[in-house]
Amino acid sequence: MKKYFGFALADGMFTGDCSIRREVLTVEQVKKTLREGVVSCLNPSHKATIHAARERFGIEVAIPEAPPQVGLKIGDAVIVMGVRGLPRMTDRHEYTHEEVAQATFLFARYTVEA
């Protein structure tokens, strides 16, 4: 059973027909899962969002040089960090403390079932 951490869920992550269970997680549940070990499927181009999660929640996730190909099978899970309220990065590389404080973060675990 593999566990992943990322910012999005994509159809290409699934290897055939399956059912998916979605479960909203607390920050403490996410931190516990991260301590147990996950495969980071973060995109390095989203460094500012990754830093925002560190600043706001103390979440530490490695940033791979290139995001891995994810092939979820029965029993595998991906934790997705959804963020609302952060502006798009067009002319700078970091968010302000105020922007991070005002954003809404939601964590959900998607588990592939039979």
> Quick one: pLDDT at residue 73?
94
Q: Which residue's structure tokens are 């939601």?
A: 106
Select from 83, 82, 70 the least CA-distant residue to 3: 70
For a pLDDT cut of 90, what percent of the chain falls above it? Answer: 63
CB under 8 A, 24+ apart: contacts of 101-104: 101/56, 103/52, 103/56
> Quick one: pLDDT at residue 31?
96
> Quick one: pLDDT at residue 12?
93
Residue 114 domain-assigned (yes or no): no
Residue 68 domain-assigned (yes or no): yes
> Quick one: pLDDT at residue 100?
87
Residue 83 domain-assigned (yes or no): yes
Helix/strand/coil for 73: coil
Lowest-confidence pick of 24-28, 42-46, 64-68, 90-94:
90-94
Q: Which domain holds residue 37?
A: 3-108
The CATH number linked to 74 is 3.40.50.11170
**Token couple for 68:** 């891995």
pTM for the predicted model, two decimal places: 0.89
Q: 39 phi and psi, to 5 degrees?
A: -95, 120
